[in-house]
Amino acid sequence: MSPNLQLAASYLDRAMAEFDVNPVAARFLRRLAKEVPDAFFSLAVDRLSSDAKSNAHRFLAMLVLRQDSLLKRLANPAFSTRDNAVILFRRFLEVDPLSDVRLAQLLPSRNSHSPDLLNGSQAERALDILDATSSGRRLLPFVLHLPENGDPRISAKATLFVGHRIKSPEWTARQLCRPDQRVRANAVEALWGVKGPEAIRIFEDHRDDSNNRVVGNSLMGLHIAQRHDVDTTILANSQHPNFAMRATTAWAMGKIGNSVFYDRLAQLVRDEHAEVRSIAVRAIADLRRTEAKEEKPVAAEAMPANASPAPIPQVAAGPEPAKPIVDLRLDGSSFRARRK
């Protein structure tokens, strides 16, 4: 970190610490965002990526939202991990509930090929973020056409997004006629939690599909629907001659979290194929976490898609101190940042 950035970081942290008691703190943060936007963005994003919540964090998120490049940066896989991008976007939704609409408007349009729109891996990441953070159906007008997109990555992600929101066996059945296996598998996954006869019929019809992911997601759908013969099928599939099917089976064992799978997973750890061995090791770790109640398995219950995050609590301002709590001024007299 350069000396200038270190100085800016120290002032930003001081301003955040004093935010509720020092009226100069908010003015200083505004000035920092205006005069050194790149440095401010980097520092602010780092602090917003934490679990800490306060009025200062909320104000910081508001300032970052004003940067024109924010949404495109967030959608760039090189910017951060998917999980971190989701954490940040939840922050922005707290202060601007229309942030999801603005990001969705950057997705590929049905008729426009504007260079300002996201494409490829950026559109894929944007769909990931929106699927994890934006609840309800209000974004469907921006996404409903994307399962037909020519980019298979966008098409697959959009299938999961749309399917999560419409939960329609009829729609899923249409997607299962598509040639792209990722689209087919995601269409089945999006139906998890639906327990009506039409959904069960789809899961049953595809538990022996030629594609391993479609099979795995169908069995998970049946497990969530509490079909009691699923474990027997999974144990049988774990001996499949196709390594991809064995790998998917190991994944399903970990997610279901039934200790009856321990012995078979211990055997799969010594499988001839590296991918099977790796997934089996992770599945055993999932089983142990489930038993220790550190976390629930993914398939333990059908969670509502994209539950809204809890709002950031407001922190009441304390009484004005009798003396300044620090000697350092935040009005800019002791801070100078040079532009490159």
How far apart are the C-alpha atoms of 163 and 192, rounded to whole Å?
10
For residues 287 and 254, is the Cβ–Cβ distance under 8 A? yes
How far apart are the C-alpha atoms of 125 and 157, rounded to whole Å?
9
- Contacts with 35 (C-beta within 8 Å, 6 or more apart), sequence order: 337, 339
In a domain, 292, yes or no: yes
In a domain, 337, yes or no: no
Structurally, the chain folds into a number of domains equal to: 1
C-alpha pair distances (Å), 293 with each of 69, 299, 308: 41, 14, 24
Count of beta carbons in the 10 Å neighbourhood of residue 132? 17
Quick one: which of 27, 59, 55 has its CA closest to 329? 27
Q: What is the pLDDT along the chain (340 residues), one digit of tens a residue?
A: 566 778 889 989 999 999 999 989 999 999 999 988 989 999 999 999 988 999 999 999 999 999 888 999 999 999 999 999 999 999 999 999 999 999 999 999 887 677 789 989 999 999 999 999 998 999 999 999 999 999 999 999 999 999 999 999 999 999 999 999 999 999 999 999 999 999 999 999 999 999 999 999 999 999 999 988 899 999 999 999 999 999 999 999 999 999 999 999 999 999 999 999 999 999 999 999 888 865 555 554 443 334 343 343 343 444 443 333 333 344 444 444 444 4
What crossing angle do the helices spanning 181-189 and 212-224 adopt, rounded to 10°?
A: 0
pLDDT at 294: 54
In a domain, 270, yes or no: yes
In a domain, 159, yes or no: no
In a domain, 321, yes or no: no
- In the block, tokens 């090929």 appear at 113
> Which range marks the domain in which residue 288 is found?
228-300
**What does the angle CA 296 – CA 244 – CA 77 come to, to the nearest 5 degrees?**
65
In a domain, 196, yes or no: no
In a domain, 257, yes or no: yes
Q: How is 167-209 classified by DSSP, letter by letter?
A: --HHHHHHHTTSS-HHHHHHHHHTTTT--SHHHHHHHHHTTT-
How far apart are the C-alpha atoms of 180 and 202, rounded to whole Å?
17
Quick one: which of 45, 63, 55, 64 has its CA closest to 18? 55
CATH assignment of the domain containing 273? 1.25.10.10
In a domain, 81, yes or no: no
Count of beta carbons in the 10 Å neighbourhood of residue 209? 18
Residue 137 φ/ψ region, left for φ over 0, alpha for ψ in the -120 to 50 degree band, beta for the rest: alpha
C-alpha pair distances (Å), 115 with each of 106, 107, 120, 235: 10, 11, 12, 49
